[in-house]
Structure 1
């Protein structure tokens, strides 16, 4: 039951995140962007089956490989987001086609790792996906927020008299 709940939580988070990313929205760099990843990470780390106790070494290797992959993909995802500053100085963000490609790449990598684990008879808990999602969201947010803080101010608009 826990695995099904984890998969449903992951699917819901993915749908919400991707949907929001593809719409232009004001970026609040002061927002607590780390809160959702913290919650997802805490939920994942509390699962005693995060590591397969019959194949601990292989299980940890697959878990670490997945986390390294999401570190990279989170960075890629953060760089694919289009950022711009409006005339009032606020920062806007919108996902691009490259953002969708990054998501597809991440899903392909996760499926590949899952396939390897299955071939090696390693049990992979849904909590490992949740932990990966937490890391992915955190890294993406860090990259986007860093990029937003380094944006040039919007050029002044001409005032007609």
Structure 2
């Protein structure tokens, strides 16, 4: 049953991420951008079957490769995401065609890892994929927050009534 729950969580998070990537989204530098990846990592790490006890070395190598792909995919995704600042200081992001290519390459690499594990006879679980997704989101969120802080400027003072009016000089009277 945990495999089914993990698979549903992966599909739900991937759908949410893809929908959010395809439209402009405001980046809040104060937000807890790390919260969802940490929750996903906790869900993944609660599964004791992440490492196949019969193929410990191969399983750990596959897990390491999966995590490395997740890290690289998160970094590449963040650097291929377009960010910009509005005049009011709000920072926005939107995925590009290169971001889609990063997703396609990441999925292809993960499928290749799964096929390699099947050839080696390693029992694979969805928790490794969930952990890699958490790392992908954590790295992407961190890099985007860092990039957004460099663009995030203090909003300019908005004009008030009478700003453009000339003021008479003040004269002191004794």
**Counterpart for residue 10 of structure 1:** 10
- State the structure with more CA Rg: 2
Residues 96-133 of structure 1: CA deviation (Å, up to 9, x unaligned): 11111111111011101001000000011110011011
The alpha-carbon deviation at position 151 of structure 1 amounts to 2.0
Specify whether residues 109 and 20 from structure 1 end up closer, same or farther in structure 2 by C-alpha distance, changes over 3 A only.
Answer: same
The alpha-carbon deviation at position 149 of structure 1 amounts to 1.1
**Counterpart for residue 100 of structure 1:** 100
Distance between the aligned counterparts of 1:88 and 1:147, measured in 2? 17
**Counterpart for residue 69 of structure 1:** 69
Q: CA RMSD in A?
A: 1.7
Distance between the aligned counterparts of 1:94 and 1:108, measured in 2? 23
The alpha-carbon deviation at position 87 of structure 1 amounts to 0.8
TM-score, reference length from structure 1: 0.93
- The runs of 4+ residues in structure 1 deviating greater than 3 Å are none
The alpha-carbon deviation at position 153 of structure 1 amounts to 4.4
Distance between the aligned counterparts of 1:33 and 1:150, measured in 2? 17
Gap runs ≥5 in structure 2: 165-174
Tell me the secondary structure at the aligned position of residue 92 of structure 1: strand
The alpha-carbon deviation at position 69 of structure 1 amounts to 1.1
Gap runs ≥5 in structure 1: none
Q: How many residues align?
A: 158
The alpha-carbon deviation at position 8 of structure 1 amounts to 1.1
Distance between the aligned counterparts of 2:99 and 2:118, measured in 1? 29
